[in-house]
Amino acid sequence: MAGPFLEFDLTRELEQLHYEPPPTSGQNAKTLVKYDDLRIVLIALRAQTRIPGHQADGRISVHTLRGHIRMRALERTFDLRAVNLLALDPPRPSS
């Protein structure tokens, strides 16, 4: 999952996730890249699946390859359709 370069066919990777039986959570995931300062996880979700809220230590990006994702972050709702990309700074501590 780490090396001088990593290259992926996301269409193929996503197809493989769709063929695996989904757990009861309604999502399958595969970590594609894992470095100390960068992690890329491919997640396949069934329709109407909810991911519990969580907080990342750093910046995150969400890239919708297929379908539609509605997510809440930074006190907003984002509607991400296929081929949309969202990048978010980590939440800032309150003063």
**Residues 3-60 pLDDT 10s:** 789 999 999 999 998 888 767 778 889 999 998 888 999 998 888 888 888 778 888 9
Same domain? 2 vs 25? yes
Helix (H, G, I), strand (E, B) or coil at 10: helix
Same domain? 38 vs 77? no
Same domain? 3 vs 35? yes
Same domain? 47 vs 60? no
Residues 52 and 93: their CA atoms lie apart, in Å, by 21
Number of domains, the chain? 2
Same domain? 63 vs 23? no
Q: Which phi and psi angles does 57 have, rounded to 5°? A: -75, -25
pTM for the model stands at 0.81
Domain enclosing residue 93, as ranges: 55-95
Same domain? 4 vs 46? yes
